Amino acid sequence: MFPLLLLIQEHAAEGAETAKGGLLTPSGGLMFWTLIIFVVLLFVLSRAAFKPMLAAVEAREKSLEDAIASAKADREAAAKLLAEHQAQLDQARGEAQKLIAEGRSVGDKIRADMVEETRGQQQEMLERARREIESEKERAIADLRREAVELAIAGAGKVIEKNLDDASNRQIVESFLSSIPTTPKSR
């Protein structure tokens, strides 16, 4: 191969000397050898360099396509996971709102029960106080009657100056006092 290159070089040098017109002047021999060198170089490069470079480029392209496909799959999985988490979050918010509403209703019910119980206790206390007042009033009236009977007997005994039987006197005074109305007249 080296002798061929040397021959090509010599011929190119001769062609350059003959073509004294300059670099831009077309020369058939120079063009022919340039074309031959280009074809030989293309053939050598296609056998030695282009195949490995093309394989590397294809491998790189395939790895990029795989990476893009993997990224799309990961993105879809992430979007699906995000949607699931959003649904769970919405569900948790709904449950929290439901628990809050239930808590409020239970609190309102407890408060209403406590108010009702307090009113019942209050009513019971009022009734008990009324009964106690009525009982005290009756006891006071009975005490006053006894006192009045005692005073009336003592007064009648002094006026009559006669020793009458206490039991009969007591009966007469009690019948008189029971005929007197116990409720004062309203004005």
Residues 182 and 178: their CA atoms lie apart, in Å, by: 8
Residue range of the domain that includes 149: 2-15+27-179
Q: Is residue 184 part of a domain?
A: no
In tens, the pLDDT along 124-181 reads 999 999 999 999 999 998 888 888 888 777 777 666 655 556 777 777 777 777 777 7
Q: What is the mean pLDDT of residues 181-187?
A: 59
Is the Cβ–Cβ distance between 16 and 31 less than 8 Å? no
Amino acid at 163: N
Q: Is residue 22 part of a domain?
A: no
Report the share of the chain in percent with pLDDT over 90.
Answer: 47
Task: Give Cα 38 to chain centroid, integer Å.
Answer: 76
Task: Give Cα 124 to chain centroid, integer Å.
Answer: 45
Q: Is residue 6 part of a domain?
A: yes
Q: Is residue 20 part of a domain?
A: no
Q: Is residue 99 part of a domain?
A: yes
Q: Is residue 8 part of a domain?
A: yes
Token pair, residue 69, equals 């496909």
Q: Is residue 82 part of a domain?
A: yes
Q: Is residue 186 part of a domain?
A: no
pTM of the full predicted structure? 0.37
Number of domains in the chain: 1
